[in-house]
Structure 1
Amino acid sequence: MRSLGRSLYLRLNLLIIIVGLAVAILQGNSATAVVGSTQRGVLLPAIYGLFIICIAIIYFLKKSDNLGTEGALLFTVFLGMLLRTGYVLMYDIYTLQNDVGTFTGFGTSQVNTGHIGYAEYIYKFMKLPDMDPYELFPYFHPPVHYIIEALWLTLQRIIGVPEALAFENLQIPTLIYSGLCIVVMVHILDEMGIGEKGLVVGSIIMALHPKLIVFAGSVNNDALSLLMLLVTIWRVLVWINDKTYLNIILAALSLGIGMVVKLNTMITAFSIAVIFLVNLVSVIRHGNRVELRDTFLQYIVFAFVSIPVGLSFVVRNIVVFDKLPGIPTMTPDSSMYTGGASLWERFGIPSLSALHLEFPFHGVNASWASNTWVIMFQTRMFSESFPASIEPGVLAIAQIAYGASIAAGVILAIAFVIGCLSRILIDLREKEECIGNLFLLLTFLFIMGSYALFVLKYPYTCSSDYRYITSELAFLTIGFVWIMRRRDSIIGKILQGLAGVSVSVMLIGAMIFMLFCDFSVM
């Protein structure tokens, strides 16, 4: 079923790591570091100039029939990493961050808040926090991401990187995670049996989407959480296609490690449980006792691997601090509180005026936007940016890209759901195994459902940020690949054209907006 060899995946991964290390060198020494966008006028045109040159090379190679699938994927990943590199080099660790916190350095005993403070604590004291995890925000998060960041800080200090620049380089692991998401998405599509052309088409959204570019420069655990959720989906699909003990162990490890990065990876456990049940029913119907025994044993192995790993931090907090998992919340008098709006205002189909097409940015304040889907659309494209000033031309591009992103999101989500349902029905009619498409559909529905429940339980504008469901991009990508296949009907060609145009306008518009908008003055 898979069409790509291991050597290509190895080269893609090496490319991402090499670019990440190159950025670490550029950002980790005083001669070339660009802290606070001091050389914006030189660096950004250089990055985008190189991007345009690469596009030109791709065009001429394609025109001369010298660009195969491997070359196209390598170029796509490189272009994605180039955009991420520009963003990371341009903006410091305080730009467009969520609950970022601060650091005071190794020589002090001060404990700081925020994601930077959490990583600094482990780096400085060389241990996990030994206080109530809800005493400081966001110490309630599982520690894997922060341990990696602390080790990275320590390594940099050992080789002589100045401490301030070492903290700037906290973006390097997230840069690599964001890049690896492209490769894992290709793995998922490859495991689904998508043809080589579809693999290239599918890699484009993950490579160029603005949310993943911003993730590359983040310092929180969102990028690694997204990566592990995608890895879990991929490894479960591998197990579905080849039900070996090794594959189910790798799937279990992916889920478990994902949960000690961020607990929301657990959402895949629900869809995994359903397909395990469906598979078990199928095995029982076959009446093969050996197959039934192996199935039970594999499920036991999955539980024994995933549960202890995934729940280790939760159990630690219960045993040591008598604290159950949860999220600290603000009070109803917060400007971000949306609980005063009706359920329809928060979850219903938004009106044109509620979409804020005239200024499509997230205003944080609930009086600006309280509709969950509006905030999701806004933060999907522009994160939590809210420009203090913006040129009319740049604003017009942002408006067009925002409208295109809404159209693309709706079209691709519908294409994904219909595509899954039709494939499930075809498999059932032909008495073929359908759990692969069922798993994807259920995972998408559980992710969207959990997002709505999360916003309902924590009624604040920040709860609707797209960063909580960025994994939706994987399913939109699948929908995009399916809809871009050759169509013979007029309706199919129209939908294909709408999808292609909306995705293209969304991605190109976002790149132009990021080129001309200075996020450091938000």
Structure 2
Amino acid sequence: MSDTIKKNKYKSFNFSEYPILTLGLICFCLALIFGTVPFSTTGIILLLCVAFIIIVVTFWQSKDDESFKITSIKAISYVSMLFIAYCIMAIQQKSGAFLFLFAVFLAIIYGIHCYINNILDTKKIIIILFILAFALKLAYILYTTVHQRQHDVEKFDINARGHAAYILYIFNNWSLPDIDVRDYWQFYHPPLHHLLAAIWLKIQSIFGIATEASYEGLQYLTLFYSSVSMYLSYRIMQEFKLRRMGLIIAFAIVAFHPTFIILSGSVNNDILSLTFMFGAILNTIVWYREQTLKNIMKIALCVGLGMFTKLSVWMVAPAIAIVFLIVLIKNRKKFKSLIGQMLAFGGVCIPLGLGWSIRNYLMHKVPFTYVPKLSVTNSQYVGYYSIFERLFDFNFSQFDSVYTQFVFYAGKYFEYNPTIALFKTAMFDEIINDTYYPEIKFSGVVLFWSGVVLALLGVIAMVYILINKKSMKPIFKVFFALLFVVILGSYYIFCFEFPFTCTQNVRYVVPLIVTGAMFIGLWLTKTLGKKTKSAKVFRIAVCAITVCFCISSAVTYTLIGI
């Protein structure tokens, strides 16, 4: 009895139980190692410190029945992989792509090992996919600077007006801007992302990382956000009991989707706001199943902090509100308790979400819905196209090139159809094309068309699940249907209110990528018990398309970095 108590008392810390914390520590270590000059004294010292931590954690996490020899082999293997990765980084000029190839090599070896030993299950496949996707995103930020493939970032200069200048303002002054934000382009955004970025710059400077390198180090922050988004997407899928092929396919689509690769290196506020949106969606599902104050506070923090990052996070609010309303109507006996929870929700969410807008209105009379407008004389203005042309013109000539047509970036015209722009920017954003990167000529085409098929399949799967009586609880059908309508509807309204090519971008509808993948996974899960020929053909076809999509995505975003 005493031995049992002693063992429980000194139970080791399990990093797998704290995935977000673990991801944060990994990104922190990567930033410190790769943020320094290769083979510099600082870099080597930090590398040795991380190696020491890995050894300590490996022994700390070892099982009671595991021999010292086995644990030592594990520790040596982990440290060896770290040193090999560091050497690859230091020697290769564009080392990010080579680092990903190294990760693929290790994943193949691990996969073969699991298969031979008959331990390759769904969980291990998900882990392999997660590690590969993380490595691909890491590779992307290593060959992408903070001045490449960005949105509204501009230079890190106090005289600039983009997101970089916003971060720099907070870093230099340690206060929020007390200016009329309408005079400074991107300063109208709520400040949470920029505040966290400024703090991260300060932390890097404490560790001796040079100023320019610390700017690049901001991408480790966005890599962390992107990785957390990937994890939260997986948790959402788990809530709906996706299993085996259904879970693997759905997660693979999200893990290797080019949008999340690009966002991992985007130092504006997009990816943090999306992370909070996924957190809000997940915690709404959890709250419905266990209606506690703790769970509703998680939703409040996700929505509130999300809107304190970017106001567009409001788009999850109507779907959350309808869940609150339905629960309130169905549980009249718990009316007082639920009302108390919802008042607490509002008490946290409203000040966080609207505080920045209220401040700017009181100080400078800035409208709550203020967004900077481009002039109609701007060359990317597409308002002269009719509504019919913009919504229903799918002329095949628009698919002569699968890349976004943006004259600024070697395009032949300015993209004007918001739907086609969604498909194209989802795969390549605005700047990636075969003019700048001729090596992706083949893989880019495969990526685009497989992505289009999966996007359409996601919509079809959603309709199928929503009309199928036993596929999902009615409240979640209403939740996801309203979420889809609000996000997509807001996107089209935005495209017509601001008729410019730059507004037609998938970054405004990213949550639909995750919900679409989830519905595909649900559909596949529903067919797992069916042995009909049509069900088998369907599963094989979806699997084949997804494999093409994931491989072409990895190939495309590896070739860009070579």
* TM-score normalised by the chain length of structure 1: 0.88
1:54 and 1:79 in contact (8 A); partners too = yes
Question: Structure 2 vs 1, CA of residues 126 and 400 (structure 1 numbering), >3 Å: closer, same or farther?
Answer: same
Paired residues of 1:381 and 1:405 also in contact (CA < 8 A): yes
Residues 134 and 494 of structure 1: CA distance in aligned 2, closer, same or farther (over 3 Å): farther
Is the Cα–Cα contact under 8 Å of residues 364 and 384 in structure 1 kept in the other structure? no
The residue number in structure 1 matching 2:207 is 159
Do the aligned partners of residues 518 and 315 (structure 1) sit closer, same or farther apart at CA in structure 2, a change above 3 Å counting?
A: same
% identity of equivalent residues: 25
- 2:516 corresponds in structure 1 to 476
How much has 1:509 moved relative to structure 2? Answer: 1.0
The AA in structure 2 aligned to 1:332 is V
Shift of 1:225: 0.9
Specify whether residues 498 and 148 from structure 1 end up closer, same or farther in structure 2 by C-alpha distance, changes over 3 A only. Answer: same
Residue in 1 aligned with 2:465?
419
Aligned to 1:505: 548
Residue 20 of structure 1 pairs with residue 68 of structure 2: no
Q: Of residues 319, 322, 342 in structure 1, which corresponds to 2:386?
A: 342
Which amino acid in structure 1 is aligned with residue 512 of structure 2?
E
Moved more, 254-263 or 477-486: 477-486
Paired position in structure 1 for 2:313: 265
Distance in 1 between the 2:475 and 2:393 partners?
A: 32
- State whether structure 2 residue 372 is matched by structure 1 residue 328: yes
Residue 306 (str. 1) matches residue 349 (str. 2)? yes
1:353 to 392, 397, 409: 397
Q: Once the 2 structures are TM-superposed, how far is the Cα of residue 217 of structure 1 from its aligned partner?
A: 0.9
What does residue 463 of structure 1 align with? 503
Structure-2 residue corresponding to 1:75: 128
SS at match of 2:331: helix
1:99-114 aligned within 5 A: 99-104=152-157, 110-114=158-162
Q: Distance in 2 between matches of 1:8 and 1:189?
A: 21
Match of 1:3 in 2: none
Which residue identity does 1:474 align to in structure 2?
V
Q: Number of paired residues?
A: 496
The corresponding residue for 2:479 is: 439
**What residue in structure 1 maps to residue 3 of structure 2?**
none
CA contact (8 A) 1:16 1:179 kept: yes
Counterpart of 2:30, as a letter, is V
1:330-369 CA-to-partner distances (Å, cap 9, x unmatched) read: 111212111111112212262322233x342342569342
CA distance in 2, matches of 1:89, 1:60: 30
CA distance in 1, matches of 2:553, 2:267: 22
Alignment-derived partner of residue 222 in structure 1: 270
1:3-402 maps to which residues of 2 (within 5 A)? 10=17, 12-31=19-38, 39-104=92-157, 110-195=158-243, 198-284=246-332, 288=333, 291-324=334-367, 325-348=369-392, 350-356=394-400, 358-363=401-406, 367-387=413-433, 389=435, 394-402=440-448
Query: Given that residues 99 and 135 in structure 2 are in contact (C-alpha distance below 8 angstroms), is that contact kept between their aligned partners in structure 1?
Result: no
Q: Is the 8 A contact 2:96 2:140 kept in 1?
A: no
Match of residue 70 from structure 2: none
Query: Once the 2 structures are TM-superposed, how far is the Cα of residue 40 of structure 1 from its aligned partner?
Result: 3.9
1:372-403 deviation digits (Å, cap 9, x = unpaired):
11111111001112447367663122112111
Instruction: Return the alpha-carbon distance in structure 1 between the equivalents of residues 438 and 170 of structure 2.
Output: 46
- Say whether 1:517 aligns with 2:560: yes
Residue 490 (structure 2) aligns with = 450
Q: Is the 8 A contact 1:81 1:179 kept in 2?
A: yes
Question: Are residues 378 and 10 of structure 1, via their aligned partners in 2, closer, same or farther at CA, if it must alter by over 3 Å?
Answer: same
Looking at structure 1, the residues matched to 16 and 514 of structure 2 have their Cα atoms a distance apart, in angstroms, of 18
Letter in 2 for 1:87: Y
More moved, 497-506 vs 225-234: 497-506
Once the two structures are TM-superposed, the CA of residue 502 in structure 1 deviates from its matched residue by 2.3
How high is the TM-score relative to the length of structure 2? 0.82
User: 1:17, CA displacement in angstroms?
Assistant: 2.4
| Paired residues of 2:303 and 2:353 also in contact (CA < 8 A) | yes
Deviation at 1:452, TM superposition (A): 1.0
Rounded Cα–Cα distance in structure 2 between residues aligned with 1:362 and 1:38: 36
**Shift in alpha-carbon separation, 1:392–1:25, aligned structure 2, 3 A:** closer
Change (3 A) 1:67 1:220: same
Query: Counterpart amino acid of 2:252?
Result: I
* Unpaired stretches in structure 1, ≥5 consecutive residues: 1-5, 105-109
Name the stretch that deviates more: 432-441 or 132-141: 432-441
For residues 130 and 18 of structure 2, the distance between their equivalents in structure 1, rounded to whole angstroms, comes to 10
Q: C-alpha distance in 1, partners of 2:101/2:25? A: 19
Contact 1:240 1:436 in 2 (8 A): no
SS in 2 for 1:138: helix
Give the superposition deviation at 1:39: 4.1
Q: Which amino acid aligns with 2:541?
A: L
Partner Cα separation in structure 2 for residue 395 and residue 439 of structure 1: 40
Cα 1:59–1:350 shift into 2, 3 Å: farther
Instruction: After superposing the two structures, state which structure 1 stretch, 37-46 or 87-96, moved more.
Output: 37-46
Deviation at 1:54, TM superposition (A): 0.9
| Whole-angstrom distance in 2 between the partners of 1:280 and 1:61 | 48
Q: Shift in Å at residue 68 of structure 1?
A: 3.6
Using the TM superposition, give the Cα deviation of residue 8 of structure 1 relative to its aligned residue in structure 2, in angstroms: 7.3
Note if contact 1:27-1:165 (Cα within 8 Å) is conserved in structure 2.
Answer: no
| Structure 2 letter corresponding to 1:26 | I
SS of equivalent to 1:128: coil
Unaligned runs of 5+ in 2: 1-12, 44-85
Deviations 1:431-473 (Å, cap 9, x if unpaired)?
x962123212221221111111111111111111111111111
Q: Which moved more, 1:59-68 or 1:94-103?
A: 59-68
Shift of 1:72: 3.0
Q: Would you say the 8 A contact 2:233–2:278 is kept in 1?
A: yes
Cα–Cα, structure 1 residues 369 and 176, in superposed 2: closer, same or farther, change >3 Å?
Answer: same
CA RMSD of aligned residues (A): 2.6
Between structure 1 and structure 2, the one with the greater Rg is 2
Q: Residue in 2 aligned with 1:107?
A: none
Q: Distance in 2 between matches of 1:263 and 1:479?
A: 27
Question: 1-side partners of 2:120 and 2:189: how far apart?
Answer: 44
Q: Name the CA distance, whole Å, in 1 between partners of 2:498 and 2:28.
A: 39
Is this contact kept in 2: 1:259–1:311, CA < 8 A? yes
